[in-house]
Structure 1
Amino acid sequence: MGQVFSAASKKEDNGDLLSSFTEYFKKIKTESKIISPETIRSIELHLKNGNIQRANSVIRDALKNIDNVPINIAVTGESGAGKSSFINALREVGDDERDAAEVGVIETTMKITSYKHPKIENLIIWDLPGVGTLNFPPKDYLKKVEFQKYDFFIIASATRFTKHEIDLAKAIKRMGKNYYFVRTKVDFDIDNEKKCKPRTFDREKILDQIRKSYEDTFSENEIPKPQIFLISNHNFSDYDFPNLVNILIKDLPAQKRHNFTLSLPNITEAAIQMKYNSSKQFIWLEALKEGALATIPALKSLSNSDVEKLEASLNHFRVLFGVDDKSVELIAKDCQVPVEKLKEKLKSHSLLTNKENETLGEKLLKCLETFLSVSGGFLATGLYFGKIFYFQFLFLDTVTEDAKVLLREAYLKE
């Protein structure tokens, strides 16, 4: 009788896991999922058959792939197009920092140069010489730049797209890769028009005229009208950069979306929320992989090793979301406010600060109890996780809110 009950209970647990997994990923838009539809179906099938070990193995492989799969972004365009500044802005590196892409008024990219993202190790942005330059003639261009290794191409221009670049776009499409036309330095055009024609200045009309001029060029060269992204390298939150980001995430393979999303600068609250949603998926999958679902956390104590792991985890989130000490100091400098005053508004900086006669473990447990009472289990789904994973969700919630606070502070000073 005991064996029958045990088998029935196990079957019920497996059913709960399958239902929870299916319901969770059903709510996430296809273009935002960090694992492929095939992987999701495979996990569901193993859970349905009661093969938890095999389901966990599929998840383990998927997470390992997310951590290790390379992301290679190619940026090319004419001399003076602002490629280097664009690359630096993507990497959140100042033009004058030591490992920044070289910026200049003359052609500074005479060879293929790679730039690793400072926070995402497997993401590399490649600064390519413009097509048609001396060492990179059009007929040999794709071969010389090792076309196949890039996930997509960004073709940048500050004035107009030449026939070389349009022919390059056609070749890229024929070979099964994506390209995106980016018109940089739009803020300069807007400022100049505003100064020259203050009485008749119409920002949207000017932007429409810029788009129309490019559409005419594409039509003349018999290329289907692509979307043109008008951007400012000095202010990614304005103009079309947020739209570009959404399309890039949608077009990337599922296993590359998570790290690409985490690499993006905190330009809007929507961008920060995308990081949050992606990270939440990752933690959820890690919990399932570790068999930590359906276990009620014991909130009595934390070992020293647990505390060390949690400290490392929180600091990792703070770096990814740009609320670490170094990032806060830079924002305080830009906003011209004291660092300590800015830190007072952030919750993540006090999570690891224990009061007198209170251990760090006790402090964290109190924070966790408050978090659980507010969230109602795992975001009110009725699921339970192991204690460590509840801390992961607590940390993620906290740094996400802190990132939004810093973004609002930066806007107040503009």
Structure 2
Amino acid sequence: MGQLFSDTSKNEDNGDLVSSATKYFMKIKAETKIISQETIRLIELHLKKGNIQGANSVIINALKNIDKAPINIAVTGESGGGKSSFINALRGVEPEDQGAAEEGVTETTMMRTPYKHPKIKSLTLWDLPGIGTMNFPPKDYLEKVQIQEYDFFVIVSASRLTKLELDLAKAIIFMKKNYYFVRTKVDIDLQNEKESKPRTFDREKTLQQIRSYCVNTFSQNSMDAPHIFLISNRHLSDYDFPVLMDTLIKDLPVQKRHNLMLSLPNITEAAIDRKHKSMQQYIWMEAFKAGILATVPVVGIIRDDVEKLKVKLNHYRVLFGVDDESVEFMAKDSQMPVEQLRKILKSPYLLETKEEETLGELFLKYLEKFASANGGLLATGLYFRKTFYLEFLFLDTVTEDAKVLLRETYSKV
């Protein structure tokens, strides 16, 4: 398997390592980076000095922060505005699933309710009691629901903005917190408009009227309009839900972006690609930490590696929604035979071999493909443990599986 960096202060390839790291990080757009620019500069500084242990330490801490950084999203608004269904949509659960936020009921709770994401344990969505159910001013309301704990607020409404919601927005601004306004159930508004004006109905014009009303309401109350997103909790790929996700990711602190990206439902191929790019960054960081400055020895993959790789592959399948449980759910939801979906997947069979030679051949085959696609980085002399190349293979395969499932089931819904 090779060994970790050793006497790096005398290693002539340090310049290549710095060059490789710099080239890789330069290719990533600022709004999608999961490692801060300050951390990147610190890694490069250690590498230039030949201090590989120092660089590894920075990377280990950065990865630990990414894994454990809590994300707390507060969802509030008047009762009946679609808070619960919005929370369920963000968590990728159906109303009847165990642990789902209860939809379509009159709000009586006076306490905030946490909902953990089923796959990303560091992400919690908080269902806050409607401000109209609590008999005190917005500022006191925010203190009651512990405003400082949240990364941002989402005010959800399905109709006209109320004075209480506007006052709440003002209080959130006063307390220097970010908030976003989500107008739900626009699909119902469009359907109603189409039924009432079948000859003159204009979908885009109706959506613009809804958006303009929201903007004008804020303006009439001497407020700058926040980001406004028109969505349907039942049809996430339509309207502004994908734009909302992009905005939330961009506005979060860098170390929190990764887990939020992984939490998003596979509603579009762009969302799946976003997950892929984030996981790719994470794997690269792990590989920088454990890399070797030598060509990869062409030897068999040892049994311990195989077991670890199985765990990694299963983890990626779960994150990308192509594991057995997710496929069964998709089959049921789209009313398709589960075997029909399983047979179009490739990731479940990547490690279906007990022969080390076969797995070794898989490694060599992908290494050639990987080197061809990433020659700029490999040509500088930066190489990783063999298992990391296979992790990239896993990532590419589960990504393609997720896209194939989306295409196959989307047309059936």
Give the TM-score normalised by the residue count of structure 2: 0.94
Q: Report what 2:194 is aligned to.
A: 194
Secondary structure (helix, strand or coil) at the match of 1:121 reads coil
Q: Report what 1:180 is aligned to.
A: 180
Q: Report what 1:397 is aligned to.
A: 396
Q: Report what 1:300 is aligned to.
A: 299
Q: Residue 294 of structure 1: CA displacement?
A: 3.0
Secondary structure (helix, strand or coil) at the match of 1:265 reads coil
Distance 1:293-1:196 versus aligned 2 partners, 3 A rule: farther
User: What amino acid does structure 2 have at the position aligned with 1:321?
Assistant: F
User: What pairs with 1:16-27 in structure 2 (closer than 5 Å)?
Assistant: 16-27=16-27
User: What pairs with 1:39-50 in structure 2 (closer than 5 Å)?
Assistant: 39-50=39-50
Query: What are structure 2's unaligned runs of at least 5 residues?
Result: 1-5
Secondary structure (helix, strand or coil) at the match of 1:124 reads strand
Query: What are structure 1's unaligned runs of at least 5 residues?
Result: 1-5
Q: Please give the per-residue CA displacement for 1:87-141, whole angstroms capped at 9, x wherever unaligned.
A: 0111111101120011124225432000000101111100001123235642411
Following the alignment from structure 1 to structure 2, what is the Cα–Cα distance between the partners of residues 118 and 364? Answer: 32
Is 1:161 aligned to residue 124 of structure 2? no
Distance 1:288-1:80 versus aligned 2 partners, 3 A rule: same
Identity %: 64
Secondary structure (helix, strand or coil) at the match of 1:286 reads helix
Native 8 Å contact 1:353 1:360 kept in 2: no
Following the alignment from structure 1 to structure 2, what is the Cα–Cα distance between the partners of residues 135 and 59? Answer: 49
Q: Report what 1:352 is aligned to.
A: 351
Q: Report what 2:363 is aligned to.
A: 368
Q: Please give the per-residue CA displacement for 1:293-330, whole angstroms capped at 9, x wherever unaligned.
A: 43433343122211110100000000000000011111
Secondary structure (helix, strand or coil) at the match of 2:31 reads helix
Q: Residue 157 of structure 1: CA displacement?
A: 0.2
Q: Report what 1:3 is aligned to.
A: none
Q: Report what 1:313 is aligned to.
A: 312
Secondary structure (helix, strand or coil) at the match of 2:390 reads helix
Native 8 Å contact 1:132 1:138 kept in 2: no
Native 8 Å contact 1:136 1:144 kept in 2: no
Secondary structure (helix, strand or coil) at the match of 1:156 reads strand
Q: Report what 1:100 is aligned to.
A: 100
Is 1:327 aligned to residue 322 of structure 2? no
Q: Residue 368 of structure 1: CA displacement?
A: 2.3
Native 8 Å contact 2:8 2:52 kept in 1: no
Native 8 Å contact 1:102 1:108 kept in 2: no
Q: Report what 2:228 is aligned to.
A: 228
User: What amino acid does structure 2 have at the position aligned with 1:47?
Assistant: L
Following the alignment from structure 2 to structure 1, what is the Cα–Cα distance between the partners of residues 387 and 260? Answer: 26
Q: Quote the RMSD (CA, aligned, Å).
A: 1.8
Secondary structure (helix, strand or coil) at the match of 1:297 reads coil
User: What amino acid does structure 1 have at the position aligned with 2:365?
Assistant: T
Following the alignment from structure 2 to structure 1, what is the Cα–Cα distance between the partners of residues 408 and 18? Answer: 43
Deviates more, 1:190-199 or 1:47-56: 190-199
User: What amino acid does structure 2 have at the position aligned with 1:398?
Assistant: T
User: What amino acid does structure 2 have at the position aligned with 1:369?
Assistant: L
Q: Report what 1:263 is aligned to.
A: 263
Q: Report what 1:125 is aligned to.
A: 125
Q: Please give the per-residue CA displacement for 1:139-160, whole angstroms capped at 9, x wherever unaligned.
A: 4111101000100100000002
User: What amino acid does structure 1 have at the position aligned with 2:50?
Assistant: G
Q: Please give the per-residue CA displacement for 1:42-63, whole angstroms capped at 9, x wherever unaligned.
A: 1111111111110110111010
Q: Report what 1:35 is aligned to.
A: 35
User: What amino acid does structure 2 have at the position aligned with 1:366?
Assistant: E
Q: Residue 366 of structure 1: CA displacement?
A: 2.9
Q: Residue 19 of structure 1: CA displacement?
A: 0.7
Q: Residue 378 of structure 1: CA displacement?
A: 7.0
Distance 1:154-1:360 versus aligned 2 partners, 3 A rule: farther
Following the alignment from structure 1 to structure 2, what is the Cα–Cα distance between the partners of residues 14 and 103? Answer: 57
Q: Please give the per-residue CA displacement for 1:350-377, whole angstroms capped at 9, x wherever unaligned.
A: 11323xxxx2544433332222222226
Q: Report what 2:83 is aligned to.
A: 83
Native 8 Å contact 1:318 1:399 kept in 2: yes
Following the alignment from structure 2 to structure 1, what is the Cα–Cα distance between the partners of residues 46 and 383? Answer: 21
User: What amino acid does structure 1 have at the position aligned with 2:397?
Assistant: T
Native 8 Å contact 1:181 1:229 kept in 2: yes
Deviates more, 1:82-91 or 1:338-347: 338-347
User: What amino acid does structure 2 have at the position aligned with 1:368?
Assistant: F
Following the alignment from structure 1 to structure 2, what is the Cα–Cα distance between the partners of residues 151 and 9? Answer: 42
Following the alignment from structure 1 to structure 2, what is the Cα–Cα distance between the partners of residues 193 and 97? Answer: 32
Following the alignment from structure 1 to structure 2, what is the Cα–Cα distance between the partners of residues 350 and 185? Answer: 41
Native 8 Å contact 1:33 1:254 kept in 2: yes
Secondary structure (helix, strand or coil) at the match of 2:131 reads coil
Following the alignment from structure 1 to structure 2, what is the Cα–Cα distance between the partners of residues 231 and 294? Answer: 50
Deviates more, 1:164-173 or 1:258-267: 164-173
Secondary structure (helix, strand or coil) at the match of 1:12 reads coil
User: What amino acid does structure 2 have at the position aligned with 1:395?
Assistant: F
Q: Residue 8 of structure 1: CA displacement?
A: 10
Deviates more, 1:62-71 or 1:102-111: 102-111
Distance 1:36-1:8 versus aligned 2 partners, 3 A rule: closer
